[in-house]
Amino acid sequence: MSDEFDPQAMVKRFQERARAVKARGLPPIEGAERIRFINQTKLDFMDFAMIGDATVTLEDGILILKVDLRAE
């Protein structure tokens, strides 16, 4: 698998997903379901953005993601 897997391409896909979540419109929902949708959108963006910001390497078939969570 390591011969065909491109970790940089994976990171790029996560960056694209983060942008898509950020640009996603709010469907016509109300009340508690609206709050759940908004909260899930925030989590989706955070997850995709963290992977999109990761430094990735593939070492001996092991995918290593480094994400700096220190405050800037």
Which pLDDT belongs to residue 21? Answer: 94
| CA quadruple 30, 36, 38, 41: dihedral, nearest 10 | -140
Ordered per-residue pLDDT tens for the chain, 72 residues:
546 889 999 999 999 999 999 999 999 999 999 999 999 999 999 999 999 999 999 999 899 999 998 877
The DSSP code sequence of 16-61 is: HHHHHHHHPPPPS--HHHHHHHHHHHHHHHHHHHHHHT-EEEEETT
pTM: 0.80
pLDDT at 4: 84
- What is the pLDDT, as a whole number, of residue 35? 95
